[in-house]
Amino acid sequence: MKSIFSLSLLSGLAAAVDFQWSHDGKNYFASEIDRIDKEDDALGLSTHIGEGGLGYFKVGHVDWPQFCRSIKTDDYEPGAYVVASLPGQLVIAKAYQLMEDPAQAFMTGILGDCEDSYKAFPGGAVPVAPVVGDGPLAGLRFAAKDLFHVKGVRTSAGSKSHYLAYPPQNHTSGIVLKNIEAGAQLVGKTKTTAFALTTTHNGWEVDYHDPFNVRGDGYLTTAGSSSGSGAAVTAYDWIDFAIGSDTGGSVRGPATQGGLYGYRPSQGYYDLEDVVVCVLSLDTPGFFTRSPELFTKLFSVWSKDTELERDVDSFTMPTKMLHRTDIVELADEDAQKMLDVFFKKVEDHFNMTSVTIDLDELWMENAVNQSYIDYFDTVYLDLNSLESWDLNGEPLTRAFGEMTDGAAPPVDPSVNLTWTNGQNETIRSRYDEAIKRGQQWRDFYSEHVNPANPDTCSDSIIAYTYYTDVPANRQDLVPFDFTGGDVTGGFWNTLPQSYGGAPEIIVPFGQVQYFSSFTRRTEYRPITASFSAARGCDAVLFKMVDGLAEAGIIGEVLTGRLAYPL
């Protein structure tokens, strides 16, 4: 065993000390939490100090081999600790294992500081403590998209200008806290596309590059905007779940690309205080897991004491599964067949009838006699441009200007264009109409597409897939028109649920082979389905996942290249 003291231990006796060392090929780090006089060593900690001047001990159940000596005390919370000897004093430091992040999913690792405050861990690695604790999420580790504020840590929102211009945050976002209070351990903040705009577009970014999706050849896109949260759960078994957010598909995209369980909640039910805004009327927090059991457990923690909490026995499953006919089938017949077989299994399991709907026909018959594709052409852009400028761009421009004596904040081209649009009077003047149209869709959706039902909560389950025939690569440039056009124009396929305020989940069920021009061999990428329920009926979707997992129709996915064993 070899111990390496950091120099600060010798030089900065007054300041808190950190240690870094390696053991059995693993890297560890410890950060001072307490210092006692040697005369007051009631726990006999100095007797643990061995070769190299460090001693290792644990409090509570910890299964890290190096920390085998157990000490019974209420002075320190359960965990792994290091004790070091100074002249006349003992330093007690909390120990972490340093995890590397080859997928580049993280903005920063996070350490507990004092009380309810955190600090960023410099240096690229992610420090993880042993899994201990109480509560329904005890023993689980998670990360949060760097759009959610964490007390003591700066928020980047995917933008270096934002990161630099604002001090460390003084509140932790409520939804992040909810997981911590349930016993889960927050280990880091994950990458997001800048201000959660559009999707990934490696090569356009001024600041932080996209994470790697470890599935297949390792060069598929993670999709965005919750790119790091999806990438982390896809890559690392030391992360159990991650928090993202979904406005126009930002959980559903990364869950689809990673082959993960992903949850976009009904809009407006979960706390969005202390989160950087994308579009207020569409934003929701959400989460990713590999395990269907954890997926439903997390929902019960999140929904507790909200209107989404429901007794699962208080409703029966919907009797209809809706399939849209206004979309094209997959060109890959094998993939389409896998999807059809999966949907059939789900319908059979719950005795659901398969029903088809044409969303556009329904819209034109019941709402506005114009294809929704045209009617909503600029709605997302109008909402996003004005809100992103007013709530993010304008205040940042002021703060950054004050800090730099008048410089504009450098931002990604897509952000720059969005903020330019957000100051354009023509676009701003369409905002009220855009809000009205969004509400119009929400009403249409809950009256004519998926209404509430007294027995089944949600009248139906809407089945869909965001899987695409052609694999999207990480380095593909998504072109957009710099001359005043589109960043987020049009009506894309995740928006019916977004405007509808409806919940939607992504469920992985298989993998499809493809030929990679990078590795020049056959690789596999996950295929997923999506299921959506009526607004407020999120519990129906989780009851469904529960039933499918229990029946063995779905199961846990792996980390790494393959979501399922071959």
Binding site for ligand NAG (CB under 6 A): 167, 170, 319, 351, 353, 369, 413, 416, 420, 424, 426-427, 484
Nearest to 365 by CA among 329, 327, 328, 326: 326
Helix extents (H) in 333-412: 333-350, 359-366, 372-375, 379-387, 394-404
Which residue, 101 or 387, is less far from ligand NAG as judged by CB? 387
Contact (Cβ atoms closer than 8 angstroms) between residue 270 and residue 523:
no
Quote the longest CA-to-CA distance of the chain.
84
Is-contact 224 472, C-beta < 8 A? no
Distance of CA 301 to the CA centre of its chain: 16
Q: Name the burial class of residue 538, with classes exposed (0-12), middle (13-18) and buried (19+) by CB atoms within 10 angstroms of its CB.
A: buried
Task: Tell me how crowded residue 68 is: count the other CB atoms within 10 A of its CB.
Answer: 11
Name the residue type at position 432. Answer: D
For residue 389, give the 3-state DSSP assignment.
helix
Burial of 53 (0-12, 13-18, 19+ CB in 10 A): middle
Whether 388 is a known active-site residue: answer no
Q: Taking the complex as a whole, how short is the minimal distance between the CB of residue 522 and ligand NAG, in angstroms? A: 41
Tell me, yes or no, if 159 is annotated catalytic. Answer: no
Annotated catalytic residue: which of 3, 156, 161, 225?
225
Our CB check for ligand NAG shows the closer of 170 and 513 to be 170
What lies within 8 Å, CB to CB, of 343 at 6+ separation is: 321, 323, 354, 463, 529
Question: Catalytic pick from 159, 250, 446, 516?
Answer: 250
Between 314 and 369, CB nearer to ligand NAG: 369
Q: Which is nearer to ligand NAG, 137 or 544 (CB)?
A: 544
Complex with ligand NAG: residue 100 or 432, whichever CB lies closer: 432
SS3 content of the chain, % helix, strand, coil (to 5): 30, 25, 45
Give me the least distance between CB of 421 and ligand NAG, in Å please.
7
Distance of closest approach, residue 430 Cβ to ligand NAG, in angstroms: 9
Tell me whether residue 225 is one of the annotated catalytic residues. Answer: yes
In this structure, which amino acid lies at residue 105?
Answer: A
Shortest gap between Cβ of 457 and ligand NAG (angstroms)? 17
Nearer to ligand NAG, 314 or 351 (CB): 351
Residues 6 or more apart in contact with residue 211 via CB below 8 angstroms: 103, 104, 105, 190, 191, 222, 227, 228, 231, 232
In whole angstroms, the minimum distance from the beta carbon of 484 to ligand NAG comes to: 5
Q: Choosing from 145, 151, 178, 320, which is the catalytic residue?
A: 145
Query: Closest distance between ligand NAG and the C-beta of residue 291, in Å?
Result: 29
What minimum distance in Å lies between the beta carbon of 380 and ligand NAG? 14
Structure tokens at 465: 């897939």
- Least Å distance, CB 505 to ligand NAG, is 24
Q: Which helix (H) or strand (E) holds 181?
A: helix 174-181
Pick 82 or 381: Cβ nearer ligand NAG:
381
Nearer to ligand NAG, 261 or 350 (CB): 350
Q: Using CA atoms, how far apart are residues 504 and 344, in angstroms rounded to an integer?
A: 19
Per DSSP, the three-state class of 66 is coil
**Least distance in angstroms from the C-beta of 180 to ligand NAG:** 19
User: In degrees, to the nearest 5, what angle opens at C-alpha 507 toward C-alphas 177 and 179?
Assistant: 10
Closest CA to 233 of 193, 288, 301: 288
User: For residue 415, what are its two tokens?
Assistant: 């952000």
Q: Which is nearer to ligand NAG, 483 or 517 (CB)?
A: 483
Q: Is 531 helix (H, G, I), strand (E, B) or coil?
A: strand
How would you class 424 by CB atoms within 10 Å of its CB: exposed for 0-12, middle for 13-18, buried for 19 or more?
Answer: middle
Catalytic residues: 145, 225, 250
